[in-house]
Amino acid sequence: MNSADFRKQAPNIVIWLLLLAMPFWLVGVGGYVELGTRVVVLGLAAMSLNFLLGYTGVLSFGHAAYFGLGAYGAGMIIRYVVPNTGLGILVGTLVGTLAAAIIGPLIIRLRGVYFAMVTIAFGQVFYFIAFRWNSVTGGDDGLIGWTRQPIDLGFTRIDILHNPTAFYYLVLICFALAVGIMAWLLRSPFGRTLIAIRENERRARFLGIPVDRHIWISWVISCCFVSLAGALYALLNNFVDPRALYWTQSGDFVIMAVLGGMRSFWGPLLGAAIFVILQDYLSSQTENWMSFLGLFFVLVVLFFPRGILGLMRRKAVT
């Protein structure tokens, strides 16, 4: 690797080193391991939304629906079927992905605010089902009576329930797989086509690109990864309630993507880290933490429209 390639890959290397060592340095600066796990999980959710928003140019306010479906899918498998963490993650991801694949053809012809509003509407349908179906979902009290189970590798068992560091690395492995697939897709001709659609949809149609099909595929991929994040989030908390499906959760994902820089690959992860750490700190200091977080978001949008990562890149260039 020559010096130019090293400089290009240096940010990626730094990010992965920070993630690999997070359980150790985060505790050293006054944090705790579960906070780092939450950053990675919600970072994956924000990056999943950014796959659709930042690279395809389609805004969804309904991603909480698939995040919540992934969470409920994982929790209900462990609670009602078989206490198996791996199966819970797999089923939770598949449930959210299947729902997105079915709903996609109904909404992909819409654009702009109409697309965003319809995604909210479908998301609220799932929210009210979870809220009202008390006998299965627990209703407003949430789905309780289950916990994540140890991982049995045959030759050893990994206790991810009582060892938060072990669970963090399980989450990091899932994150790495998802992020690796996203990066590969975005570097492929398919990813370049998505960017072409984002930049000029009309010209893409003139070139013979099946725009609606590409948006549907991008939608399903994005919802697949956010469903994975939802399943991991349920396992992190050993609990899930209808708020995971509510549209304000989608708003949080959008805020994370915009804070970090929605047209950059790692921007949403940075935005999620800022959002989660500020939320954790401010909520311990004041009941009005949402006001301060909202003010911070407004200032970033006004003065740094490309997000925090965009600002850092501009300073690096200058």
Q: Which residues form the domain of 226?
A: 32-317
Count of other CB atoms within 10 angstroms of residue 200: 12
Query: Does any domain span residue 10?
Result: no
First to last CA, the chain: 26
User: For the chain, how long is the longest CA-to-CA vector?
Assistant: 61
Asked if residue 23 is part of any domain, the answer here is no
Residue 7 lies in a domain: no
**What confidence score (pLDDT) does residue 1 get?**
56
- The average pLDDT across 87-93 equals 96
Task: Tell me how far apart the alpha carbons of residues 281 and 27 are, in angstroms, rounded to a whole number.
Answer: 14
User: Tokens 């969804």 sit at which residue?
Assistant: 60
Q: Is residue 18 part of a domain?
A: no
pTM of the predicted protein model: 0.94
pLDDT in the model for residue 47: 96
How do residues 149-196 score in pLDDT, each as one tens digit? Answer: 998 877 788 889 889 999 999 999 999 999 999 999 999 999 999 999
* b/e burial code for range 125-161 (CB count within 10 A of at least 16 → b): ebbeebbeeeeebbeeebbeebebbbbeeeeeeeebe
pLDDT for position 243: 92
CA 125 vs. chain centroid, Å, equals 21
Does residue 5 lie within any of the structural domains?
A: no
Q: Residue 116 falls within a domain, yes or no?
A: yes
Q: Tell whether 236 is covered by a domain.
A: yes
CATH of the domain at 109: 1.10.3470
pLDDT band of 5, cuts 50, 70, 90: low
Q: Quick check: helix, strand or coil at residue 193?
A: helix
If one counts the domains in the chain, the total is 1
| Sign of CA pseudo-dihedral 126, 291, 25, 180 | positive
Q: Which of 50, 113, 29, 41 is nearest to 70 (CA)?
A: 41
- Return the pLDDT at 317: 47
Calculate the average pLDDT of the chain: 91
75 within a domain of the structure (yes/no): yes
